[in-house]
């Protein structure tokens, strides 16, 4: 957890919504200078903070509406801080909660150096990252349709399909596998949607790869040097990490990627683990997938995991491999060096 500890003359806490926002501005002594509800527009915000622009810092909680405000502050030269929603217990755990109270608490946390920070993703790559996340969402929808076809066959106790549903050339005979005409119509709808998704995703993936090479071609090709990591995993790693220098230590990067457990202890006693949902879920998925794909057609990697499995079990062995791949990615991007399989597999 990182806190914002810089001192300023004015501190602005904002409880931000889609169409409105509540502002609270404090001076360096903690006195309230402005406490006002207003429309969530650039004009309203700039007009409200105009008398307090001298050494002003603005903070909001990390919700989906923060993009425009962060970009506006960057354009106007105003310091901007994004509060980590899951860490801001002073807001979520209060006895009373409303927009006015929340705005004041954000300002107080900011002034006291106790506002937990989230990363303000730069504008340059942010829209492409969101487009990539949308692509992954559509791919999961496509996977749901594929699973529905398989499950429908099991639902009616029909024999196995005998074809690969995910392969376009093997789908023509699938509807005839279902004798009931209504069920067949349902399967035809699934196949029609899958075909539409295939066309959309193919074009979108090509566009995303071109965007990535325009943003950071060197890092893109570095990540492609990892065995088993293809175009999509490379894109996810590239856009979810954005800048490896924002992680001073490898352990911070692994924690952000949800590849380490947060231990709870008191008086020398361990009381379990927590914080499983704090971090980047997309990176966690990417490293889990990379660990499985790393083993394909890789005898040395398979022997490496077998040694780990004998000691820890198969599930934990794959988790260890995923964490080590995360460590390798950190070193690769820091040193600007491609993946070195010999060094990686030499680890004990």
Neighbours of 103 (CB within 10 A): 28
> pLDDT at position 110, please?
96
Q: Has residue 199 got a pLDDT over 60?
A: yes
- pLDDT for res 94: 76
Q: What are phi and psi of 186, to 5 degrees?
A: -65, -40
With bands split at pLDDT 50, 70 and 90, how would you rate the model's confidence at 92? confident
Least confident of 42-46, 119-123, 343-347: 343-347
Q: Per residue in 298-323, pLDDT tens?
A: 999 999 999 999 999 999 999 999 99
CATH 3.30.420.40 fits 3-118, yes or no: yes
In the chain, which residue ranges form alpha helices assigned H by DSSP?
42-49, 67-76, 89-92, 99-111, 123-155, 181-224, 231-241, 250-256, 281-294, 299-312, 314-335, 341-345
Q: How confident is the model at residue 326, as a pLDDT?
A: 97
Question: Range with the lowest mean pLDDT among 27-31, 55-59, 83-87, 110-114?
Answer: 83-87
Instruction: Place 83 in a pLDDT band, splitting at 50, 70 and 90.
Output: very high
Q: What are phi and psi of 62, to 5 degrees?
A: -75, 90
CA 257 to chain CA mean position, Å: 9
- Secondary structure (DSSP) of 108-145: HHHHTT-EEEE----HHHHHHHHHHHHHHHHHHHHHHH
The residue ranking higher by pLDDT, 264 or 55, is 55
Give the pLDDT of residue 347: 64
Q: What is the b/e burial string over 227-254, where b = at least 16 CB atoms within 10 angstroms of the residue's CB?
A: bbbeebbbbbbbbbbbebeebeebeebb
pLDDT at 153: 95
């Amino acid at each position: 957890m990182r806190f914002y500890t810089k001192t300023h003359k004015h501190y602005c806490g904002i409880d931000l919504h889609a169409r409105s926002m509540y502002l609270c501005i404090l001076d360096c002594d903690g006195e309230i200078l402005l406490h006002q509800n207003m429309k969530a527009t650039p004009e309203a915000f700039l007009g409200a903070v105009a008398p307090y622009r001298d050494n002003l810092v603005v903070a909001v909680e990390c919700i989906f509406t923060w993009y425009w405000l962060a970009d506006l502050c960057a354009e106007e030269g105003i310091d901007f801080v994004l509060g980590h929603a899951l860490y801001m217990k002073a807001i979520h755990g209060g006895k009373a909660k409303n927009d006015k109270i929340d705005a004041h608490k954000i300002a107080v946390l900011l002034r006291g150096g106790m506002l937990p920070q989230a990363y303000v993703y730069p504008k340059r790559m942010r829209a492409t990252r969101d487009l990539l996340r949308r692509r992954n969402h559509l791919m999961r929808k496509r996977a749901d349709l594929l699973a529905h076809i398989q499950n429908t066959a099991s639902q009616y106790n029909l024999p196995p399909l005998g074809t690969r549903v995910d392969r376009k050339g093997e789908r023509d005979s699938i509807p005839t596998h279902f004798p009931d005409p209504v069920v067949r119509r349902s399967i035809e709808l699934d196949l029609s949607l899958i075909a539409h998704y295939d066309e959309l995703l193919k074009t979108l993936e090509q566009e995303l790869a071109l965007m990535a090479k325009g943003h950071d071609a060197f890092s893109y090709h570095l990540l492609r040097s990892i065995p088993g990591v293809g175009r999509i995993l490379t894109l996810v790693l590239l856009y979810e990490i954005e800048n490896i220098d924002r992680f001073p230590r490898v352990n911070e990067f692994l924690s952000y990627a949800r590849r380490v457990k947060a231990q709870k202890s008191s008086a020398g006693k361990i009381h379990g683990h927590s914080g499983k949902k704090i971090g980047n879920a997309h990176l966690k998925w990417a490293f889990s997938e990379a660990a499985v794909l790393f083993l394909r057609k890789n005898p040395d990697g398979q022997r490496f995991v077998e040694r780990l499995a004998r000691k820890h079990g198969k599930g934990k062995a794959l988790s260890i491999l995923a964490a080590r791949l995360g460590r390798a990615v950190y070193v690769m991007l820091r040193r600007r060096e491609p993946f070195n399989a010999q060094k990686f597999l030499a680890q004990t």
